[in-house]
Amino acid sequence: MFDLIKKLAELYGPSGFEDQIRPVIRTEIEKLADEISTDAMGNLIALMKGSGKGDRLKVMIAAHMDEIGIMVNHITEEGFLRFTNIGGVRRASLQGGRVQFADGTIGVIYSDKSADASKLQPLDKHYIDVGASSKADCPVHVGDAAGFLRPTLQQGSRVMGKALDDRIGCVVAIEAMRALASKKGKNKSAHDLYFVFSVQEEVGVRGATIAANAIGPDVGIALDVTLTGDMHNGPEMAVALGEGTAIKAKDAGMIAHVGLVNLMKKRAADAKIPYQIEVLTGGSTDARAMQLSGVGAAAGCISIPCRYVHSPSEVVDMVDVQASIDLLVEILSNDLDI
């Protein structure tokens, strides 16, 4: 599984620029789905038709392909690039970092000299050096986007790299599709499953909103990362790396459907899958889009605990990744009696 994580995490794909990652995911899933399509927004949608007869529930499972990044908004006469953020870029992780543009051009981030070195410079006082000697010979243009550049590494059960938010959710979705496709008879899902690899989540769950309005799901399950409470001076929350998947109860954008939360807990307990309960005080996921789109859906989220979210070195634990896959398969291959 690590090879798949590495392949997806290292791909270029800031919000709105997912063209390089979409075909790679499509190749991974095209033999698993009954139908695959890409909508006008750029969402990749894979339908696995249910085995049940009569009315079948529509279940939408969403994992976003996009990552945070930057966009060039000015080029100085000396060839340095000023930029703005795409999504929740953290200034503390910028200095000395590297970014990569769609054509492979790589740049180094630095900031202007400050009178007070103890304070972080604002975003508009940072710049990117791509090796140009002047504006005229700069290979990058205003409006070009870049993603952060960092290798994906494994150390024991821990995996670290950029864009694990939310390429790790994409991995969970792909592995769940593989597991479901291998099941036979009553263990195969009775429901119509719409696996959506969504775009532009980092800038306001835009892709999932469009997809949910088109699909009209009865049940929606987002796959995304969440913060952990086991960091040094980190947030106070009951989620830790290596303790299992996290079942979302609430975040800043939605309260998860109580019946779905209870079902997740029951399926995890019955299958002896380690789990934690997530209450996140900031941020939200594609579950919010599914909950509020159309006539609404019973929505929830399976979260993968992650340290250092929105930095170029996010960290997850393979124990939690596997538990998230196992829980999703248990939910989808059994009755959704919520």
Residues above pLDDT 70, as percent of the chain? 99
Q: What is the pLDDT of residue 137?
A: 94
* pLDDT tens figures, 198-255: 999 999 999 999 999 999 999 999 999 999 999 998 889 999 999 999 999 999 999 9
* pLDDT tens figures, 60-71: 999 999 999 999
Q: Could you tell me whether strands 44-48 and 58-64 are parallel, antiparallel, or unpaired per DSSP bridges? A: unpaired
Q: Return mean pLDDT, the chain.
A: 96
314 is catalytic: no
State the Cα–Cα distance between residues 51 and 45, nearest whole angstrom. Answer: 19
H-helix or E-strand spanning residue 248: strand 245-250
Per-residue confidence band for 118, with pLDDT thresholds at 50, 70 and 90: confident
* Domains of the chain and any CATH numbers: 2-67+162-332 (3.40.630.10), 69-148 (2.40.30.40)
State the Cα–Cα distance between residues 64 and 290, nearest whole angstrom. Answer: 13
Query: Does the pLDDT value for residue 188 go beyond 90?
Result: no
* pLDDT tens figures, 119-134: 889 999 999 999 999 9
Per-residue confidence band for 260, with pLDDT thresholds at 50, 70 and 90: very high
pTM of the model: 0.96
281 burial type by CB count under 10 A (0-12 exposed, 13-18 middle, 19+ buried): exposed
Q: With H, G, I as helix, E, B as strand and everything else as coil, classify residue 159.
A: strand
Q: Average the pLDDT over 261-279 and give the result.
A: 98
Cα angle 100, 106, 108 (rounded to 5 degrees) comes to 100
- Report in angstroms the alpha-carbon separations of 201 from 48, 93, 176, 210, 262: 23, 21, 21, 11, 26
State phi, psi for 73 to the nearest 5 degrees.
Answer: -120, -5
* pLDDT tens figures, 90-108: 999 999 999 999 999 999 9
Per-residue confidence band for 186, with pLDDT thresholds at 50, 70 and 90: low
Q: What is the pLDDT of residue 187?
A: 58
Residues above pLDDT 90, as percent of the chain? 92
Question: Amino acid identity of 123?
Answer: L
216 burial type by CB count under 10 A (0-12 exposed, 13-18 middle, 19+ buried): middle
Q: What one-character-per-residue DSSP string does 29-86 give?
A: HTTT-SEEEE-TT--EEEEE-----SS--EEEEEEE--B-EEEEEEE-TTS-EEEEEE
The active-site residue out of 18, 201, 278, 330 is: 201
77-91: string of b/e by CB count within 10 Å (b at 16+)? eebbbbbebbbebee
Query: Does the pLDDT value for residue 10 go beyond 80?
Result: yes
Q: What is the pLDDT of residue 185?
A: 57
Q: Residue 234 is encoded by which pair of tokens?
A: 């980190």
Q: What is the pLDDT of residue 104?
A: 97
Closest CA to 226 of 216, 215, 235, 217: 235
- Report in angstroms the alpha-carbon separations of 110 from 80, 131, 246: 10, 13, 36
